[in-house]
């Protein structure tokens, strides 16, 4: 699987930080870890990662959002689109580790009624 990278610029160096990566997978399931900032710069990579799992026949995708510091509407849209495709294929996309700011954003947008949120162990 691929991973998206964000660029972090420090005064003395530039660092790349992985924001989307698959941490586990088998024939039917995948676990994807998100971290840092997800926005228009890396929403395509998020979409590509999730679609690659669906294309490979995986129907249960757990997306760990516990390390997400920021997410914009483009990245949220990628999650909604992947969720829609997953449902069409009779699968489940489950967001785990959703921290309070992201959970609030999803509630305000009404997306907590569309996306499956595992609220156990959330801040």
What pLDDT, on the 0 to 100 scale, is given for residue 63?
A: 97
What pLDDT, on the 0 to 100 scale, is given for residue 119?
A: 77
What pLDDT, on the 0 to 100 scale, is given for residue 13?
A: 52
pTM above 0.95, yes or no: no
Order of strands across the sheet with 4-9?
A: 4-9, 14-25, 29-38, 60-71, 92-96, 116-118
Q: What is the pLDDT of residues 2-39, one digit of tens each?
A: 445 555 555 555 444 558 999 999 999 999 999 999 99
In the predicted model, is pLDDT for residue 123 greater than 50?
yes
User: With DSSP H G I counted as helix, E B as strand and the rest as coil, what are the percentages for the chain, rounded to 5?
Assistant: 35, 40, 30
Q: CA-CA distance, 98 to 13, in Å (whole number)?
A: 31
In the predicted model, is pLDDT for residue 85 greater than 80?
yes
In the predicted model, is pLDDT for residue 75 greater than 70?
yes
């Amino acid at each position: 699987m691929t991973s998206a990278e964000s660029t972090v610029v420090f005064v003395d160096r530039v660092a790349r930080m992985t924001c989307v990566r698959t941490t586990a997978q088998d024939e039917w399931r995948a676990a994807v870890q998100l971290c840092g900032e997800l926005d228009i710069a890396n929403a395509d990579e998020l979409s590509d990662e999730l679609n690659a799992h669906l294309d490979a026949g995986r129907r249960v995708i757990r997306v760990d959002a516990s390390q997400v510091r920021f997410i914009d509407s483009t990245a949220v849209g990628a999650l909604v689109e992947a969720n829609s495709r997953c449902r069409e294929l009779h699968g489940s996309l489950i967001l785990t580790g959703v921290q309070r700011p992201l959970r609030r954003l999803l509630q305000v947008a009404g997306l907590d009624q569309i996306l499956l949120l595992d609220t156990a162990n959330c801040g």
